[in-house]
């Protein structure tokens, strides 16, 4: 099976380029491991999403947790995206990157009191509320600040998104949202609480969803609920459909935003409701590469290992989800083809980036890129094994720029103290 090259990538005279830059040049200057993003691809993905929904009243909110680098949030904000945030940290990032408060929604099951206050003070579009106790806490916080709190209720529609167990969120046994069977009284409570301004309903059923069917099923359930509420005198202005649309890691054929919009449009006909959409992975995943260099090759008889300088602390998805990421050499060598596991230096057997891959036997020092690493890559990284986090670079045509410095050894120990007297 031939894996297609990442968007914007091509081999020219056997060297891998992204947009108009040879990747070897970036890697030589900025070092490895290194995250490299294509500005053009992020904008294309955003436009495809936004234009896919052009026929419906909507606002795209970038789910910042997928990749929270300031340059990427700012790029999407300038293109018109708002932000879906899950913490005060992400609120800080979104505001700093220029996202208007009125285009920010705050999701998550465990918002702290200080986070609720910060979001009320900023004047965000709305909170996506996940429990009765959270709703009451927001009401109290709003009263203390003499403000009204705009909210949507996150409903758990009990729909199977047919994705990986760890990233499905819309089944009734998941911790997220209020079970749809118990949701009506919560909407009524929200409508009654003095400081709560009930604006809508929210769902987010999972991630890496490949077909439109779970979305359509979810929408039908939510609209039924909305109709019941309408009959009881409660009108919803916003319907937040969450994110979760899948991308191609290997040879999948995920539904497109346009197909999704088309498949839900019928159910929405004649309704005066604005859709909110929260794509994360879709906007950034295939715009990102993780570049690394080969340290050592080992042939243990039964198999080959290629030990590289990137590891599970830099890209956790393979170790965490057994996720597949395609790997490409920076130099398309003619060498003998081998089947190998590509592994990092971290002291864990689970530390691998790719398993059983056929590729030309690389030389020590050769560069490789791990594809589709733009979402849930850098942000899920850690300093485990005291490895400074990698730098991040943005490519724009024939130019590239560092959008996050590589961490230093001093960064590793920042804030640590050795008590002097014990």
Ligand X SMILES: *Cc1c(COP(=O)(O)O)cnc(C)c1O
- Minimum distance, C-beta of residue 35 to ligand X, in the bound complex (Å): 17
**DSSP code for 299:** E
% helix, strand, coil for the chain, step of 5: 30, 25, 40
User: Per-residue string for binding with ligand X, 237-276, x by CB under 6 A?
Assistant: -----xxx--------------------------------
Closer residue to ligand X in complex, CB, 196/241: 241
List Cα–Cα distances, 79 to 92, 97, 271, in angstroms.
19, 12, 27
Q: How far apart are CA 25 and CA 29, in angstroms?
A: 6
**DSSP code for 270:** T
Contact 214, 205 (CB under 8 A): yes
Q: Is 305 buried (19+), middle (13-18) or exposed (0-12) by CB count in 10 A?
A: middle
Closer residue to ligand X in complex, CB, 376/400: 376
> Does 377 sit near ligand X (CB under 6 A)?
no
Q: How far apart are CA 283 and CA 84, in angstroms?
A: 13
- 63 to 82, contacts with ligand X by CB under 6 A? 63, 65-66
User: Per-residue string for binding with ligand X, 307-346, x by CB under 6 A?
Assistant: ----------------------------------------
Q: Is 15 buried (19+), middle (13-18) or exposed (0-12) by CB count in 10 A?
A: middle
| Residue 347 among the catalytic residues | yes
> Does 157 sit near ligand X (CB under 6 A)?
no
- Minimum distance, C-beta of residue 371 to ligand X, in the bound complex (Å): 17
Closer residue to ligand X in complex, CB, 26/83: 83
Quick one: which segment of 58-66, 133-141, 358-366, 406-414 binds ligand X (CB under 6 A)?
58-66
- Minimum distance, C-beta of residue 147 to ligand X, in the bound complex (Å): 23
> Does 177 sit near ligand X (CB under 6 A)?
no
- 178 to 207, contacts with ligand X by CB under 6 A? 204, 207
Secondary structure E strands in 225-308:
238-240, 274-277, 288-299, 304-308
Quick one: which segment of 60-68, 223-231, 328-336, 413-421 binds ligand X (CB under 6 A)?
60-68
> Does 125 sit near ligand X (CB under 6 A)?
no
Contact 30, 402 (CB under 8 A): yes
- 80 to 109, contacts with ligand X by CB under 6 A? 84, 107
Q: How far apart are CA 81 and CA 73, in angstroms?
A: 9
Residue 15: strand pairing partners:
12, 331
Contact 283, 62 (CB under 8 A): yes
User: Per-residue string for binding with ligand X, 11-50, x by CB under 6 A?
Assistant: ----------------------------------------
Helix, strand, or coil (residue 327): strand
Q: How far apart are CA 158 and CA 131, in angstroms?
A: 16
Quick one: which segment of 131-139, 212-220, 278-286, 390-398 binds ligand X (CB under 6 A)?
278-286
Closer residue to ligand X in complex, CB, 118/161: 161
Annotated catalytic residue: which of 347, 358, 409, 418?
347
Cα angle 346, 90, 315 (rounded to 5 degrees) comes to 20
> Does 6 sit near ligand X (CB under 6 A)?
no
- Indicate which residues carry an active-site annotation: 347
Residues found near ligand X in the complex (CB under 6 A):
63, 65-66, 84, 107, 204, 207, 242-244, 278-282, 375
């Amino acid at each position: 099976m031939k894996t297609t090259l990442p968007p914007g990538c091509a081999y020219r005279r056997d060297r891998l380029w992204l947009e108009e830059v040879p990747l070897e040049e970036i890697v030589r200057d900025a070092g490895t491991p290194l995250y490299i993003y294509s500005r053009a691809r992020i904008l294309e993905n955003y436009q495809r999403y936004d234009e896919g929904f052009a026929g419906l009243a909507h606002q795209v909110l970038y789910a910042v947790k997928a990749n929270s680098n300031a340059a990427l949030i700012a790029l999407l904000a300038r293109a018109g995206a708002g932000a879906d945030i899950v913490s005060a940290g992400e609120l800080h990032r979104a505001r700093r990157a220029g996202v208007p408060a009125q285009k920010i929604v705050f999701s998550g099951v465990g918002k702290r009191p200080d986070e609720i206050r910060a979001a009320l003070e900023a004047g965000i579009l709305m909170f996506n509320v996940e429990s009765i106790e959270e709703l009451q806490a927001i009401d109290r916080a709003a009263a203390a600040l003499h403000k009204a709190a705009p909210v949507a209720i996150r409903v758990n529609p009990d729909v199977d998104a047919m994705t990986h167990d760890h990233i499905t969120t819309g089944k009734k046994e998941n911790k997220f949202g209020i079970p749809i069977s118990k949701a009506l009284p919560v909407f009524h409570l929200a409508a009654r609480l003095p400081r709560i301004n009930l604006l809508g309903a929210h769902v987010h059923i999972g991630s890496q969803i490949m077909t439109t069917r779970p979305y359509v099923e979810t929408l039908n359930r939510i609209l039924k609920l909305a109709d019941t509420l309408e009959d009881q005198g409660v009108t919803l202005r916003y319907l937040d459909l969450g994110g979760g649309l899948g991308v191609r890691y290997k040879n999948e054929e995920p539904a497109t935003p346009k197909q999704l919009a088309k498949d839900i449009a019928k159910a929405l006909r004649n309704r005066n409701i604005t859709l909110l959409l929260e794509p994360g992975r879709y906007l950034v995943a295939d715009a990102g590469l993780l570049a690394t260099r080969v340290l050592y090759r080992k042939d243990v008889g039964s198999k080959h290992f290629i030990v590289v300088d990137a590891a599970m602390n830099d890209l956790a998805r393979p170790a965490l989800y057994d996720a597949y990421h395609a790997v490409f050499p920076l130099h398309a060598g003619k060498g003998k083809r081998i089947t190998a596991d590509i592994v990092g230096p971290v002291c864990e057997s689970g530390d691998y980036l790719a398993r059983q891959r056929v590729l030309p036997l690389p030389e020590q020092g050769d560069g490789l890129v791990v594809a589709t690493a733009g979402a849930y890559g850098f942000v899920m990284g850690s300093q485990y094994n005291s490895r400074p986090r990698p730098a991040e670079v943005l490519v724009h045509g024939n130019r590239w720029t560092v959008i996050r410095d590589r961490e230093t050894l001093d960064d590793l120990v920042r804030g640590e103290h050795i008590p002097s007297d014990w």
